[in-house]
Amino acid sequence: MIAIQADLLEVGSEKILNFTKILDVYVEQEEEEESKQVTETTWSEKAKWTLETAKKHLEMLSELEKNIEPKFTQSYVSIVINGRNYYMYDKRTKPNSVVWFNVKEEEKVDAIKKLLDEKNIVYGYNKYKDFSFTFDKNFLTKNQDLLKKIHEIKEKEFTSDE
């Protein structure tokens, strides 16, 4: 960093600009802290109820999917199927968690909205084509069939007949 001071001096009948370097410093940039590794333990300490809810959903979906695993980030816990984030969980006030998932195809969106409306479940669907709703582990237990059906709709190939 360099700082220069400008002075206007009057010498006789003439005006002179005088520049003086008052600071000339080089500061070595600090190395960024290594990003903290986020693990299941991190989430167990941060929001155990969210971790348990995501694990319960993972266990349930394991009956339908083969290549399924959890992933952990600072912001959310995700259920990854075939290398893609399918369901993301973040904490809310204990014991609730928010889950969101992306559905782009209009037929699938309509089918999932219909299912959620029939069960009077409050949900959001945003401009990024993400469904989101808040629930806890008990919701998963009571609504396993609904959540499996949502997953089946997400995976389903729609034909023009449907």
- CATH number for the domain harbouring residue 86: 3.90.1150
pLDDT tens column, 66-103: 999 999 999 999 999 999 999 999 998 888 999 999 99
How many domains, in total, are found in the chain? 1
Q: Say what the pTM is.
A: 0.72
pLDDT tens column, 101-159: 999 999 999 999 999 999 999 999 999 999 999 988 889 889 999 999 999 999 887 55
Task: Give the H or E element holding residue 48.
Answer: helix 40-61
Q: Backbone phi, then psi, for 102, in 5-degree steps?
A: -100, 135
Residue partners of 117: CB distance under 8 A and separation at least 6: none
Which range of residues forms the domain containing residue 111?
40-155
Residue 30 domain flag: no
What is the CA angle 52-36-67, rounded to 5? 45
